Every structure is written in C-alpha cells, then in structure tokens.
Amino acid sequence: MRALDLDFQRQRLASPPGWGLLAAGLLLAGAGLLGQAQIATATAEQERELQRLERQLRGGGVSQASLSPAENRAQEANLAEMRRVTAQMNLPWEALLSTLESQRLEDIALLSLTPDARKRQVRISAEARDLAAMLDFHRRLEQSAALRDVSLLNHEIVAQAKGQPIRFNLLATWVVDDAHP
C-alpha cells in the first residue's frame, strides 16, 4: 500500500513579493492610462487649432487688409522664396545626374558639381589624367542631350601631384524641357 501524505497547514497562494509586483503593475497601468488621456486631450486641442487655421486660410478668418505693409512685404518675400525653392525642386535632377554618371570616367575624377537651378547652369570641377582626357570629357559633355554650351572656365596642371593631373572647371547650360519644369 501507498503511504498517505496529509498536509494540515496549507500554503498561501500569494507571497508579499507577488502582491508588490501586482501593485506595481497596477500603478504602471494607471500611469499609462493617465498619459494616454493627456495625449488625447493635446491631440484634440491641436486638431481644433488646425481646423481654425484652415478656416482662416479659406477666407473665414483674418483678412489681408489687417496686415501692416511691412508684414505684407515679409509675407510676399516668403512666398517668393517658397516659389523659388519649389521651382528648383521640380527640375529634372535625375536627367542631369544620369548624364554625368553615363560618361566614361576612367581618366576623369569628378570633384564637385555646383548646379544653379535659377540660371539652369551647372559648374563641374574635375581632374583629368592628361590634356587629351580633359578634352575628350569636354567633347562628350557637349554632345550630350542634357547639356549645351559647355565652356572650359579654367584649367591648371597640378605639378606637385603624381602624374601631374589637370584640374579644370566647366560651365554648362542645363537643358530642361519646358513642358516638364
């Protein structure tokens, strides 16, 4: 027969550390709910402010006549700057970069590109292994569809460098299709 094990003193289900963990969890849950309520209130306030500003922009708020002449000039200057930046961003940068990347550059190292989107010009600073490589790069850029009026601005032989490479600057007009500015 099997031995019978009787336990007349039952163990408690929860210990003091367990109760402490439960209390900490409840406190954290309460803090989370309080934080969520504050965020919801702030979001609602910002949405109301956004709706108010949208109504103003549509004409339901402050009129242009209430602005001082200095404020009108500042607002017009800001609008002009935004239009200028937008025009620059809408130019086909990919066409310019793909034209330059498609060139054979074994003997050429591009040092910098300085585009002027307003004038639609790009300044190219590069270094060539020799004079023939520089002239060949210049000729290939002139023949490309994305650039025209490629001009050699200056060149110099770097005497202190190994192989005496030629540093040069080109200026080219960037062809932009007017149908897609």
pLDDT at 48: 93
**What is the pLDDT at residue 44?**
93
Q: Which pLDDT value is given to residue 180? A: 46
Q: Give, in order, the Cα–Cα distances in Å from 45 to each of 42, 50, 59, 103, 147.
A: 5, 9, 22, 56, 52
Single pTM value for the model: 0.52
What pLDDT is stored for residue 179 in this prediction?
Answer: 42
Positions in the chain whose pLDDT score sits under 50: 61-62, 179-181
pLDDT of the residue at 177 = 65
Residue 133's CB is within 10 A of a number of other CB atoms, namely 19
Pair of tokens at residue 25? 């969890």
